[in-house]
Amino acid sequence: MLREAILHIPMSQYAHGIDERHLVFRIRSAKGDLTACTLYYADRACRVNPVLFTSQPMRLAASDTLYDYFEVVLEAPYTRVCYYFELSDGQETILYYADQFTQKHADERSEYYQFPFNHRNDIAEVPAWLKEAVVYNIFPDSFATSKEYIAEKAKAAYFNATVTTGQNGGTLRGIADNITYLLNLGINCIYVNPIFAAEEYHKYDLLDYYHIDPCFGTNEDFKVLVDSCHKSGIRVIIDGVFNHCGWHFFAFEDVVQNGENSRYKDWFYRLTYPVVRPDNGEEIPNYDCFAYERKMPKLNTANPEVEQYFCDVGRYWVKEFDIDGWRLDVANEVNFDFWRAFRRAVKAVKPDCVLIGEVWESAQPWLRGDMFDSSMNYDLRKNCRDFFALEQIDADGFDARVTAMRMRYTQNILYGQLNLLDSHDVSRFFTLCGEDKARFKLAVIFQMTFVGIPSVFYGDEKGLAGRLEHEYRRPMYWGTDESGLFQFYQRLIAIRKQHQALIEGGFKTISAEKGSGLYAYERANADETIVILLNASSEHVEIGNFISQGQELLAREGLECNSLSPYGYTIFKR
């Protein structure tokens, strides 16, 4: 037995509650090493000595390149548990607890692994509505000016004495005018990039957190948009930029004008005086910024005044406009205590208001139930890019990465991850596919059928392309869809909504072999099993072992008897 590969971490994704009655336990071992793994659990307050344990076999839940992951969902008759593992590799059987390997039981129950108490408030839960969501991410300047129309003209407006700008003429009314379009696609949630007053067209350099940018409309326009969306069954998430502000935000303006005498000097980081706004982007500012963006001074969110100010902002838009969530920009560069306070402030007004952090890497520290409900799953995009778009890895390598995504988080959090192929910060996935619809479709199928919440960036459903910033943020195409992608998205979203297994079901890999482009998996709940076969290769692949007569085909392309043609797929109900 390869003992050095064994890993269990109490009170983590390896041991967590999913509700008040159910606990999940996981343990990692070397790939192919263990033949059996059993969980033994007992009441940690048991008055009998030795403790009376109950056994529960664990199943092999996932594998990656190096490891196997065993898992069991335990319906415990008590909320406090002590436990250990019995591990067998066919040659020896050992007990594992307290990070020790042994052949004997402990003398005291306190020496075993402990799940001290399954507290309701410690369970990381995702708002129920989010699990049912299909999100449409709108970059407001580029989406629409009115119904199925974008002006494609630069514009400027004044907010107080500062000029704000737009490049393409998108407005909030334009979004509201196209709710029917969103409904027709199957969308039930929109996430809108920043809409508050700011100088640049992207609106990440904020002037004011209480007013809509005049290039986009008014606060009343936003109220109409939210109300119209809600009447149509569409939730609304907006972008919160609290890591940094803009040059002419009142507090930074005061620092520039008054220097060391400014009462707001502690709202910012590492100021040297006099504070000077650099004339060009080549100069290094004498204050901390987001990256080296001179027009985005970094806020000191550890300052109690700053924390209070932005908690008030968070509450305001929830209370006054009834938004359904915040996507939180540069979330990993803001201190933890700020996010905990922000969560308390927002959830006090609307408990099911969702908080989604922009974290490009593992977001574990922020997803323990005290900060965010979800994060943007850029790993899904990266892994789909390497498998479907660039064909740099085989099915085995892709599945190893899928396992990493699945085992990284607690079960509830996994089902709330925001799964994206595109955003306003990256090249269009369609472009990475060489504008090859066949490869693009495979990635979209995976996005729509994997565990978590699919997020469609505006225009993906029309085949918008673009590698550089001005290209991937280009105006929405409102002409006739010649690509057929709109209908493709429409069909996949409908399939997702019609089959609860794709929303709440488990995930199991069926086939992912080395050197192969065939990736097969299933999503299953108690009522149904949905099987997805994707051929991400230029060769025909045999699938006779996976499909048989009488199964309900939900979608297919390139299905030929017992084989899939290059870049073909099939989705069926078993």
Q: Which residue out of 43, 205, 239, 329 is catalytically annotated?
A: 329
Closest C-alpha among 38, 49, 51, 50 to residue 80: 51
Distance, in Å, from the CA atom of 380 to the CA atom of 408, rounded to the nearest integer, reads 13
Q: What DSSP state is assigned to residue 63?
A: E
Q: How many residues does the chain have?
A: 574
Residue with tokens 């550890």: 302
Residue corresponding to tokens 């085995």: 396
Contact 532, 449 (CB under 8 A): yes
Residue 175 and residue 185: Cα distance in Å, rounded?
14
Residue with tokens 């209480």: 210
Q: Are 190 and 225 in contact (CB under 8 A)?
A: no
Sheet strands (E) in 247-397: 325-328, 354-357, 374-377
What are 313's two structure tokens?
């902002």
Which candidate, 407, 395, 502, places its Cα nearest to that of 449? 502
CB within 8 A of 41, min separation 6: which ones?
53, 54, 56, 74, 76, 81, 82, 83
Separation CA 497–CA 134 (nearest Å): 9
Q: Which of 532, 540, 529 is nearest to 574 (CA)?
A: 529
Beta bridge partners of 74: 23
In a 10 Å sphere around its CB, with 0-12 CB exposed, 13-18 middle and 19+ buried, how is residue 284 labelled?
exposed
Compute the distance between CA of residue 8 and CA of residue 67 in angstroms, rounded to an integer. Answer: 13
Q: Examine the residue annotation and report whether 208 is marked as an active-site residue of this protein.
A: no
Q: Which of 358, 396, 422, 461 is catalytic?
A: 358
- In this structure, the number of other CB atoms found within 10 A of the CB of residue 220 comes to 10
**φ, ψ of residue 490 in degrees (nearest 5):** -55, -45
The alpha carbons of the chain give a radius of gyration, in whole angstroms, of 26
Q: Which two tokens stand for residue 97?
A: 């607890």
Closest to 383 measured CA to CA, from 61, 64, 30, 13? 64
Cβ contacts of residue 457 below 8 Å, gap of 6+? 137, 139, 420, 421, 422, 423, 424, 428
C-beta of residue 427 within 8 angstroms of C-beta of residue 417: no
Three-state DSSP class for 39? strand
- Six-digit token string for 405: 């995504």
Q: C-alpha angle 505/508/514, rounded to 5°?
A: 155
- DSSP letters of 130-155? HHT--EEEE-HHHH-SBTTB-----E
Question: 282: exposed, middle or buried (C-beta count within 10 Å: 0-12, 13-18, 19+)?
Answer: exposed
Has 358 been annotated as catalytic?
yes
Residues 189, 324 contacting (CB under 8 angstroms): yes
Tell me which residues are annotated as active site: 329, 358
